[in-house]
Amino acid sequence: EFYNIGNIHEMRKSLTALVQVMLSPSPSVTTEIHFSRYIEDTGWLSHVRYVLKAGYDTADFARRGIPVLVHCSHGWDRTAQVCSLAQLLLDPFYRTFDGFHVLVEKEWCSYGHQFGMRCAHGMDKAGRKEDEVSPIFLQFLDAVWQLVKQQPHYFEFNTKYILTLADHLFSGRFATFLFSSDLEREKEGAERVQ
């Protein structure tokens, strides 16, 4: 199955468009009337839907005993999104505070999501590769937020917790989101959040 989940460049472009809509100065009556269309035109919600659909189908295939192989071009962006969502749907443990922590540590940190590169932590504009910056983990959190909003009674945590994680993705407070691998964290002597 091919789910046509956009690449990092599409996600970056989509988030940039979403931010522009959200931060547009003093919306006119016309803007307010067409606000939802402007949001939809950014493509962000469509991208989140594709990720959710892929995660749901992966969980459904696994639940029915059908072997599943999930892979994107590099294996650390869309793969982490889809596999994390599938596990969240399949196993109630991952819907607890401790379980969600384990899921993020396992699928994102230990398997090498490029937090440093995707979030450009500690990189000045002149030295970073702008074409590698992309809101992949933020998009995953949005997908989780959608699930929590739809089925809050299945989760130990709420949307406030997800928003707190999103804030700390960029706060620089926790080494969990600063580096791109366990090796980098170890070299820097950085402790992850426990």
Catalytic residues: 72
Reference 172, options 129, 125, 127, 122; nearest CA is 122
Reference 85, options 113, 50, 111, 116; nearest CA is 50
Q: Cα-flanking dihedrals φ and ψ of residue 14, to 5°? A: -65, -45
User: CA–CA separation, 45 vs 142, rounded Å?
Assistant: 9
Q: Which amino acid is at 175?
A: A
DSSP string, 131-158: GG---HHHHHHHHHHHHHHH-GGG-SS-
And the tokens for 184? 């980098």
Give me the residue label for tokens 């071009």.
73
Residue 11, exposed/middle/buried by CB under 10 A (0-12, 13-18, 19+)?
buried
